[in-house]
């Protein structure tokens, strides 16, 4: 009986193009720690104007956000990478129709301790740092101190983007320390003189971003694609939300003037 019900719901989604929710005034968001600040700011803004709506935002990582959407445990999966084919196939098998919403642009910044004099690194140098070929900052014109390599956990969308755009198939050194969030990387880099880590633009307070291939991670360079480690940020829903519902308003905020201002205020790059 349960399978029949799922098929009926799927058919309605496909025909109407609208995601069905048990309670339209309750929205559950889960996923990326990178997209988390945007989702939280959107939620605060929207609930401030619609107190009858309750929006909860969790940050379990992009991969877990996708799983939550597939399992219908959330209404919105926030992801700092595109959904994988395997995730879409799992969703389809569960009767979930994944719809992609791009909400902002981001640059993955390379961050070092504020006392580190190194100001710019090439992609090749970053790759050599993360494979372990470069072990001392002296090799890069910095102090004679060991490089402490910090990475996001492998379930992170930021990790997968870094792996694709920077590592290009090379394996990260076994000496790397893995962190579960952007905030954890920031804290580690802030407190460790020899550390280097990568994180979203909204998490640069207290650390020193270095240029990549001579280009700083800024709104202009991310939009014109001259900064080499940039990516869109996503929200995914089960079906296209019905126009006029709180869910449609929430995921569509990035296209509004207030939404673009919120994205900018959180430290990311709003869509044009």
- SS3 at position 47: helix
Q: What is the pLDDT of residue 2?
A: 36
Q: What is the pLDDT of residue 4?
A: 32
Q: Which of 105, 131, 133 is nearest to 224 (CA)?
A: 105
Mean pLDDT for 189-194 is 97
Ranges assigned E (strand) in 64-182: 76-79, 98-107, 109-112, 120-121, 148-152, 177-179
Tell me the per-residue pLDDT of 253-266, one tens digit each, with 9 for 90 and over.
Answer: 999 999 999 999 99
Give the CA angle between residues 106, 154, 237 to the nearest 5°. Answer: 55
Tell me the per-residue pLDDT of 13-58, one tens digit each, with 9 for 90 and over.
Answer: 333 333 444 689 999 999 999 999 999 999 999 999 999 999 999 9
Cα 182 from Cα 48, distance rounded (Å): 27
Cα 38 from Cα 179, distance rounded (Å): 21
Q: What is the pLDDT of residue 232?
A: 96
Mean pLDDT for 135-141 is 97
Tell me the per-residue pLDDT of 241-251, one tens digit each, with 9 for 90 and over.
Answer: 999 999 999 99
Binned at pLDDT 50, 70 and 90, residue 272 comes out as: confident
Ranges assigned E (strand) in 108-255: 109-112, 120-121, 148-152, 177-179, 195-199, 208-212, 230-238
Q: What is the pLDDT of residue 21?
A: 43
Mean pLDDT for 68-84 is 97
Q: What is the pLDDT of residue 170?
A: 96
Cβ count within 10 A of residue 77 = 30
Q: What is the pLDDT of residue 234?
A: 98
Cα 208 from Cα 116, distance rounded (Å): 8
Mean pLDDT for 135-157 is 96
- SS3 at position 40: helix
Binned at pLDDT 50, 70 and 90, residue 9 comes out as: very low
Cβ count within 10 A of residue 176 = 17
Helix (H) or strand (E) holding 54: strand 54-58
Mean pLDDT for 136-164 is 95
Tell me the per-residue pLDDT of 213-256, one tens digit each, with 9 for 90 and over.
Answer: 999 999 999 999 999 999 999 999 999 999 999 999 999 999 99
pTM: 0.84
């Amino acid at each position: 009986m349960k399978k029949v019900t799922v098929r009926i719901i799927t058919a309605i989604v496909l025909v109407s193009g609208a995601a069905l929710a048990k309670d339209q005034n309750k929205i559950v968001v889960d996923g990326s720690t990178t997209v988390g600040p945007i989702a939280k700011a959107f939620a605060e803004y929207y609930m401030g104007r619609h107190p009858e709506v309750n929006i909860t935002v969790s940050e379990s990582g992009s991969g877990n956000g996708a799983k939550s959407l597939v399992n219908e445990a959330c209404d919105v999966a926030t992801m700092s990478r595109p959904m994988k084919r395997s995730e879409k196939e799992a969703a389809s098998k569960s009767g979930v129709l994944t719809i992609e919403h791009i909400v902002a642009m981001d640059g993955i910044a390379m961050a070092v301790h504020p006392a580190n004099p190194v100001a710019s690194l090439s992609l090749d140098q970053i790759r050599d740092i993360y494979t372990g070929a470069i072990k001392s900052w002296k090799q890069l014109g910095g102090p004679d101190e060991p490089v402490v390599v910090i990475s996001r956990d492998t379930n992170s969308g930021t990790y997968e983007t870094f792996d694709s755009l920077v590592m290009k198939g090379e394996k990260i050194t076994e000496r790397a320390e893995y962190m579960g969030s952007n905030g954890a990387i920031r804290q580690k880099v802030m407190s460790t003189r020899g550390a280097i880590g990568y994180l979203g633009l909204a998490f640069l307070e207290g650390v020193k971003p270095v240029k990549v291939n001579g280009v700083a991670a800024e709104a202009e360079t991310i939009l014109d694609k001259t900064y080499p480690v940039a990516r869109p940020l996503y929200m995914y829903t089960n079906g296209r939300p019905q126009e006029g519902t709180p869910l449609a308003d929430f995921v569509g905020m990035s296209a509004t003037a207030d939404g673009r201002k919120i994205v900018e205020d959180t430290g990311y790059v709003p869509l044009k």
